[in-house]
Amino acid sequence: MKKVLIPTKLDTVAADMLKDKGYNVVQEPKTPLEELAKKHSDAEVLIVRSEKVTPEIIDALPKLRLVVRAGAGYNTIDIKHARKKDVDVMNTPGANANAVAEEVVALMLAASRKIVQADISCRKGEWEKTAFMGNELANKTIGVLGLGNIGKLLIKRLEGFEMKILGFDPFVSSGMAEQMGIELCSVEEIFSKSDYISLHIPENKDTKGMINKAVLELMKPGAMLINCARAGIINENDLREIKARKKIVFCNDVYPKDEAGPKSVSDIADIMVPHLGASTVEANFIAAKRSGEQIISYFEKGITNCVVNKGVPDGLDEKFQSLAFALTRLGRCYLGEHRAPFRIETSFYGELSQFGKWMLAPIAAGISPDFDPYLDASDAESFLKQRGIEIEDRKVDDHKKYGEAMTIDLFEGGNTINKVSLRGTIVENNLMISRVNNFDKLYLEPTGHNLFAEYSDEPGVIGKIASILGKENVNIIDIRAPQDLKANRSLAAIKTNVAVPQKTIETIKETIKAINVFCFSYE
């Protein structure tokens, strides 16, 4: 009889389902997890919400096989230590999506109609109707940053308000946006055109602080900013500086830490709530029910769809997964970060041909930082399909003798199709990009910072690039310059000590009349 620990206030449907299947379930939401783990060290399963699952907790449960996060985010779980201990970690993606989408609508209405202030005033016996003159949502424009599960549901929930909807998600194709009835825009366009802006993007090194002075200055006077995503994506000091002048309305539900105590945004938030996005009876029920279902399927059927820390099969070097990610990211940069491919074609040579499905997750992660590379092939296929991206693994001809290598092609565009084709392999235990389009024998290790410039072949171009970089105190570490003789083009791949600033990239592009210039960084 497997023992399941539930140290959280979760709907009892999970415990009931598991008990019916013969599991020994211990649900004690008031007992600290550390204490519960010591008391029930024979537990094989752990279901948590926001509780921290540290290496110490995992080590205290030597029989632990599975941790289930009843919700989407699992940043409170040490998934790497869990993997070392051969413990699978699952989440229940989408269980809270509708709750968060509805919370956004609630905040929009409450702030637009000044409900909170009016309630406080009215309870005092005051009657200040003119002081609480509000705004209607109908016929206004809302910009939604991030078109994943929550963003899509928010758009559906807003249909009845007859709002114009702008969307930003560089990983959603134009065809998918058309089906959703929205207009794809840049971040800058959304901030300049929208009356309401709702954030639904992850916090990572690319998005941290992206809502800063540059975009906040573009907002309409009196526009509303709603953050039910992650605290770190907003530069609070920039918002503080611009809010008073532009009379920006700010509604917030997320903080650096979910805990009691003073909050840094209390002086700038018009409405702030204690991370209530997933706090609905329905979301709690759905997350609990999915947790129970996934545990039963995991042990009875071996279904691991939602495992977020999967290892790799015997015979596959993990570096090939890193290579698949690097090639895809480079392809995205080549096409343009704000251009989503509608099709991906892959070829895996040699022994890699049997591991094609294990490359889908890193490929999806290369397309979008929203996707976790620890997820599996079915999750990756579903993720790409939701964004209108087709994927095909082609049959290969091993007579070409590429060895253990892979080719990844990305297709983007509407009437005019743009394509980038990349090939790579592992050489002396290092990732190696051997070809970009018809620029063969590139032999570039995709580490650090790399500047790519494609141009019509003529003498002196690399010297001009080097001169511009030198003026900006950017050191050149390595240069590769393969040619496409048929098209009379060259590709300069220059490894630099720092990422080349966008302003410098524009200068290089103008100076050498480049066809394409971009920076690609890989750690």
Domain count along the chain: 3
> What's the pLDDT score for residue 106?
98
Residues 396 and 476 in one domain: yes
> What's the pLDDT score for residue 382?
86
Cα 63 to Cα 43: distance, rounded to the nearest angstrom: 6
In a domain, 309, yes or no: no
Cα 180 to Cα 187: distance, rounded to the nearest angstrom: 18
Residues 108 and 228 in one domain: yes
Q: Are 436 and 481 in contact (CB under 8 A)?
A: no
Higher pLDDT, 171 or 401: 171
Average pLDDT over residues 405-431: 89
Q: Which two tokens stand for residue 495?
A: 């490894």
DSSP state of 307: B
Average pLDDT over residues 333-341: 84
CATH number of the domain encompassing residue 378: 3.30.70.260
Whole-number average pLDDT of the chain = 92
Residue 314: C-alpha distances to residues 218, 358, 494 (Å): 52, 12, 36
Q: Are 195 and 165 in contact (CB under 8 A)?
A: no
Q: Is the pLDDT of residue 180 over 80?
A: yes
Q: Furthest-apart CA pair in the chain: how many Å? A: 86
**What is the bridge-based pairing of β-strands 476-480 and 489-496?**
antiparallel
In a domain, 311, yes or no: no
Q: Are 356 and 346 in contact (CB under 8 A)?
A: yes
In a domain, 277, yes or no: no
The 3-state DSSP composition of the chain as helix, strand, coil percent (nearest 5) reads 35, 25, 40
> What's the pLDDT score for residue 80?
84
Q: Is the pLDDT of residue 186 over 70?
A: yes
Residues 228 and 266 in one domain: yes
Question: What residue numbers bound the domain in which 498 lies?
Answer: 318-522
> What's the pLDDT score for residue 113?
97
Cα 514 to Cα 517: distance, rounded to the nearest angstrom: 7
Residues 399 and 356 in one domain: yes
Write the pLDDT tens digit of every residue in 234-284. Answer: 999 999 999 999 999 999 999 998 889 999 999 999 999 999 998 999 999
In a domain, 289, yes or no: yes
Residue 361 Ramachandran class (φ > 0 left, ψ -120 to 50 alpha, else beta)? alpha
Residue 467: C-alpha distances to residues 231, 462, 463, 499, 509 (Å): 41, 9, 6, 16, 13
> What's the pLDDT score for residue 203?
84
Percent of the chain whose pLDDT exceeds 70: 98
Residues 65 and 129 in one domain: no
In a domain, 11, yes or no: yes
Of the candidates 166, 201, 171, 164, the one whose C-alpha atom is nearest the C-alpha of residue 185 is 166
CATH number of the domain encompassing residue 20: 3.40.50.720
pTM surpassing 0.85? Answer: no
In a domain, 13, yes or no: yes
Residues 117 and 80 in one domain: no
Residues 353 and 490 in one domain: yes
Query: What confidence category does residue 403 fall into, taking pLDDT thresholds of 50, 70 and 90?
Result: confident
Percent of the chain whose pLDDT exceeds 90: 75
Residues 267 and 140 in one domain: yes
Q: Is the pLDDT of residue 401 over 70?
A: no
Q: Are 409 and 342 in contact (CB under 8 A)?
A: no
Residues 60 and 171 in one domain: no
Write the pLDDT tens digit of every residue in 26-78. Answer: 999 999 999 999 999 999 999 999 899 999 999 999 999 999 999 887 878 99
Of the candidates 281, 285, 258, 290, the one whose C-alpha atom is nearest the C-alpha of residue 68 is 290
Average pLDDT over residues 292-306: 90
Residues 349 and 479 in one domain: yes
Residues 113 and 259 in one domain: yes
Residues 133 and 72 in one domain: no
DSSP state of 259: S
Q: Are 288 and 10 in contact (CB under 8 A)?
A: yes
Query: What confidence category does residue 372 fall into, taking pLDDT thresholds of 50, 70 and 90?
Result: confident
> What's the pLDDT score for residue 309?
84
DSSP readout, 497-513?
A: SSPPPHHHHHHHHHHTT
In angstroms, how far is CA 464 from the centroid of its own chain?
Answer: 37
Q: Are 9 and 31 in contact (CB under 8 A)?
A: no
CA torsion angle 500 506 510 516 (round to 10): 80
Query: What confidence category does residue 414 fall into, taking pLDDT thresholds of 50, 70 and 90?
Result: low
